[in-house]
């Protein structure tokens, strides 16, 4: 069952645009298999929101169809009505589009194939390859044997074809109770592959399906459905994660015995990321228990969370290309994702000014009531981004940590008697420090040099520090949500006895700052826009934001921790 090709190491994937899957495809094209046609699919189960692991699969499947002038279908593998929902279908479609991919008119549902799958099950019964079994779930498990022990044949395995046909029809007609019977493939109870030990094809389940309603009271299993769905859509290359490697012989068994189109299944390793979990089941629990704001909480590794956090889709795609495809499970450093986010935002995000921890500054020689507009460059790396006007006035806010009364040697920011530059503004000199009764600094009094407008002194005099600032008169109050990793450990599943991954939830993963001020140009930014707050990081307008209450999420800090990791 295992593939005889050597695993592709992560090192080779970084530089090589190709990968072992593309090698297989090239080989099929050379052999003129399917006349060179390439058709892939992305097959989500609509039982949760997509996460960053799915992004890897989406980029792979849609990327291959793009690069080989092929097609990629979107297919919902909706065989489990109990856990599935229209809300998930809608979110999945939105997320794939946001990532920049298009399935055109090829939106399919496994549930659309239920009638065909039923007919095929009848065919297998007629060939003596399927039977109705009345063992209970527990008995089936017991008869199945173990990895080291062969299973035993079900006492119902030798039923006549006529009896099987009759019972299966009556299962469909609703004559039997939920769970009382199954239809099973008749393969081999002593196969070393557990999946081949007479797997279940149909179960009786009275559950309303989000698409077929109450039409069916029997539902095909995922394993009975997946391969034939690929076949019906004439998928040439069915790319899936490693856990399906052991299921491949079963899919091939169904396809061979039904004599239908054989898709080539190729498995690759799942993406795992440090400091987070990528499993819908575990993510659903965080949502259900209210540990996060929802599926789209900016801390979630879901596509909708990443979007709300302000990660650009181009960064997610670059990340997926960079990690490549391999046969070996590994965990990717979260910092690599952030590295790509910074790369894209550094190029694309406009610079603005905001103060998170404000300290009042009064410019004593600046006329009271005067406001002047100073020109500020939006993106030094992109002249097309233009410039904007930032209001300057007698009272300003600067960042509290940009002032020290008693500065150490290497501190080049503001201090008593020291002159610094205000970005796009003037040189100012601190002349007085105002404190409250407890001795806290509450205000600085400074003078400005009118000749330094725009940030340079005509006499060539230099300053070492440049500070960001906002006008106290014109700045807008804003709520800033600061995000850290959702889990405190690189491996959230690394827990003590009797604990589960929730024990590693980071209680400080979200901190809300309610005292910040931002420059007035941010009033009109639509939700989802990401900007750089100069010297602080990248921040994205949250959907909760309104004209009355601006809300920003910190997308990522400016510091590049990945560079440090690479140097290690
Ligand atoms: P989960 O374990 O989170 O529930 P799943 O595999 O059940 O995920 P599906 O909706 O069945 O989710 O997945 C759709 C496609 O995405 C499948 O082809 C699956 O192999 C792939 N996929 C899911 N998780 C990952 C991952 N972490 N890395 C790469 N591909 C993934
Ligand atoms: Mg699944």
pLDDT, residue 93, reads: 98
Regarding the beta carbon of 293 and ligand 1, being less than 6 Å apart is answered no
Q: How far is the CA of 110 from the centre of ligand 1 (A)?
A: 16
Ligand nearest to the CA of 283: 1
To test the ligand 1 pocket, which listed residue (56, 91, 240, 241) has its Cβ within 8 A of the most ligand atoms?
Answer: 241
Three-state DSSP class for 541? strand
Closest CA to 2 of 230, 222, 266: 266
Find where tokens 């994937």 sit. Answer: 13
Tokens of 314: 């181009």
Tokens of 176: 């039997």
Regarding the beta carbon of 285 and ligand 1, being less than 6 Å apart is answered no
Percent of the chain at pLDDT exceeding 70: 95
pLDDT, residue 561, reads: 55
Regarding the beta carbon of 225 and ligand 1, being less than 6 Å apart is answered no
Q: How far is the CA of 54 from the centre of ligand 2 (A)?
A: 11
- pLDDT tens for each residue of 453-470: 999 999 999 999 999 999
Name the band, by pLDDT with cuts 50, 70 and 90, for residue 9. very low
Average pLDDT score over residue span 173-189 = 98
- Contact 538/554 with Cβ under 8 angstroms? yes
> Which residues lie closer than 8 Å to 268 by C-beta, 6 or more apart?
21, 60, 239, 240, 241, 242, 325, 326, 327
The protein residue with its alpha carbon nearest to ligand 1, atom 3, reads 279
- pLDDT tens for each residue of 331-366: 999 999 999 999 999 999 999 999 999 999 999 999
263 or 329, greater pLDDT: 263
Tokens of 78: 């909706």
Q: How far apart are CA 342 and CA 335, in angstroms?
A: 10
Residues designated catalytic: 45, 270, 280
Q: How far is the CA of 256 from the centre of ligand 2 (A)?
A: 24
Q: Does the structure show a pLDDT above 70 at 7?
A: no
Q: Does the structure show a pLDDT above 90 at 144?
A: yes
The protein residue with its alpha carbon nearest to ligand 1, atom 27, reads 53
Regarding the beta carbon of 44 and ligand 1, being less than 6 Å apart is answered yes
Q: Does the structure show a pLDDT above 90 at 3?
A: no
Three-state DSSP class for 93? helix
Q: Does the structure show a pLDDT above 60 at 118?
A: yes
Ligand nearest to the CA of 324: 1
Q: How far is CA 343 from the centre of its chain?
A: 18
Q: How far is the CA of 43 from the centre of ligand 2 (A)?
A: 9
Atom number of ligand 1 nearest to Cα 241:
20
Q: How far is CA 530 from the centre of its chain?
A: 17
Closest CA to 308 of 290, 296, 300: 296
pLDDT, residue 18, reads: 78
Atom number of ligand 1 nearest to Cα 56:
29
Regarding the beta carbon of 298 and ligand 1, being less than 6 Å apart is answered no
Helix axes 161-172, 114-126, angle to 10 degrees: 160
pLDDT, residue 17, reads: 53
Regarding the beta carbon of 45 and ligand 1, being less than 6 Å apart is answered yes
Q: How far apart are CA 146 and CA 390, in angstroms?
A: 72
Name the band, by pLDDT with cuts 50, 70 and 90, for residue 559. confident
pLDDT, residue 330, reads: 86
Average pLDDT score over residue span 169-188 = 98
- Contact 223/202 with Cβ under 8 angstroms? no
pLDDT, residue 564, reads: 53
Sketch out the chain's domains with CATH numbers. 126-223 (3.90.800.10), 274-348+476-568 (2.40.240.10), 353-471 (2.40.240.10)
Regarding the beta carbon of 301 and ligand 1, being less than 6 Å apart is answered no
Q: How far apart are CA 435 and CA 432, in angstroms?
A: 10
The protein residue with its alpha carbon nearest to ligand 1, atom 18, reads 240
| Average pLDDT of the residues of the chain | 94
Sequence length of the chain is 568
pLDDT, residue 128, reads: 98
pLDDT, residue 85, reads: 92
Q: How far apart are CA 55 and CA 76, in angstroms?
A: 16
- pLDDT tens for each residue of 252-300: 999 999 999 999 999 999 999 999 999 999 999 999 999 999 999 999 9
Rg, C-alpha atoms of the chain: 31
Q: Does the structure show a pLDDT above 90 at 28?
A: yes
Q: Does the structure show a pLDDT above 70 at 149?
A: yes
- pLDDT tens for each residue of 290-315: 999 999 999 999 999 999 999 999 99
Q: Does the structure show a pLDDT above 60 at 520?
A: yes
Closest CA to 287 of 93, 99, 85, 481: 85
- pLDDT tens for each residue of 187-244: 999 999 999 999 999 999 999 999 999 999 999 999 999 999 999 999 999 999 999 9
Regarding the beta carbon of 79 and ligand 1, being less than 6 Å apart is answered no
Q: Does the structure show a pLDDT above 80 at 385?
A: yes
Atom number of ligand 1 nearest to Cα 279:
3
Q: Does the structure show a pLDDT above 90 at 97?
A: yes
Regarding the beta carbon of 425 and ligand 1, being less than 6 Å apart is answered no
To test the ligand 1 pocket, which listed residue (52, 53, 79, 267) has its Cβ within 8 A of the most ligand atoms?
Answer: 53
- Contact 286/346 with Cβ under 8 angstroms? no
Q: How far is CA 196 from the centre of its chain?
A: 34
Atom number of ligand 1 nearest to Cα 243:
20
pLDDT, residue 562, reads: 52
């Amino acid at each position: 069952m295992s593939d005889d090709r050597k695993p592709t190491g992560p090192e080779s994937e970084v530089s090589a645009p190709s990968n072992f899957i593309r090698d297989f495809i090239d080989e099929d094209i050379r052999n003129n298999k399917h006349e060179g046609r390439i058709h892939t699919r992305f097959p989500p189960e609509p039982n949760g929101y997509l996460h960053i692991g799915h992004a890897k699969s989406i980029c792979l499947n849609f990327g291959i169809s793009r690069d080989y002038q092929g097609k990629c279908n979107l297919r919902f593998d909706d065989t489990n009505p109990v856990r599935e929902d229209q809300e998930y279908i809608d979110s999945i479609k939105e997320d794939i589009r946001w990532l920049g991919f298009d399935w055109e008119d090829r939106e399919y549902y496994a549930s659309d194939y239920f009638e065909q799958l039923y007919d095929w099950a009848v065919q297998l019964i007629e060939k003596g390859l399927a039977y109705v079994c009345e063992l209970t779930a527990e008995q089936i498990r017991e008869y199945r044997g173990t990895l080291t022990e062969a299973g035993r044949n079900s006492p119902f395995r030798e039923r006549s074809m006529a009896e099987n046909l009759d019972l299966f029809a009556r299962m469909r007609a609703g004559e039997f109770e939920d769970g009382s019977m199954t239809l099973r493939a008749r393969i081999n109870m002593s196969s070393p592959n557990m999946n081949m030990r007479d797997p279940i094809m149909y179960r009786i389940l009275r559950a309303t399906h989000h698409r077929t309603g109450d039409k069916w009271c029997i539902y095909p299993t995922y394993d009975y459905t997946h391969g034939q769905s690929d076949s019906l859509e004439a998928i040439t290359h069915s790319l899936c994660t490693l856990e399906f490697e052991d299921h491949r012989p079963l899919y091939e068994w169904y396809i061979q015995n039904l004599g239908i189109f054989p898709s080539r299944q190729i498995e690759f390793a799942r993406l795992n990321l440090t400091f987070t979990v990528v499993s819908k089941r575990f993510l659903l629990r965080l949502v259900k228990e209210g540990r996060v704001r929802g599926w789209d909480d900016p801390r979630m590794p879901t596509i909708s969370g990443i979007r709300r956090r302000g990660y650009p889709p181009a960064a997610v795609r670059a990340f997926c290309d960079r990690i490549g495809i391999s046969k070996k499970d590994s965990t990717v450093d979260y910092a690599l994702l952030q590295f790509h986010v910074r790369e894209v935002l550094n190029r694309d995000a406009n610079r603005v000014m905001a103060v998170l921890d404000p300290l009042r500054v009064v410019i004593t020689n600046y006329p009271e009531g005067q406001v002047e507009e100073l020109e500020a460059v939006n993106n030094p790396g992109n002249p097309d981004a233009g410039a904007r006007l930032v209001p300057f006035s007698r009272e300003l806010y600067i960042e509290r940590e940009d002032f020290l009364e008693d500065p150490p040697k290497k501190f080049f920011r503001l201090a008593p008697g020291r002159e610094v530059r205000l970005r796009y503004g003037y040189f100012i000199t601190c002349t007085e420090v105002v404190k409250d009764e407890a001795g806290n600094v509450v205000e600085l009094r400074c003078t400005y040099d009118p000749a330094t407008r725009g940030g340079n002194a005509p006499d060539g005099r230099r300053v070492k520090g440049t500070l960001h600032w906002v006008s106290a008169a014109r700045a807008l109050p804003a709520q800033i949500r600061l995000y850290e990793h959702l889990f405190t450990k690189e491996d959230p599943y690394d827990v003590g006895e009797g604990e589960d991954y929730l024990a590693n939830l980071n209680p400080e993963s979200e901190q809300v700052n309610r005292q910040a001020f931002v420059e007035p140009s941010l009033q009109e930014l639509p939700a989802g826009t990401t900007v750089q707050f100069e010297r602080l990081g990248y921040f994205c307008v949250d959907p909760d934001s309104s004209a009355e209450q601006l809300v920003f999420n910190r997308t990522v800090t400016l510091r590049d921790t990945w560079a440090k990791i690479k140097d290690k």
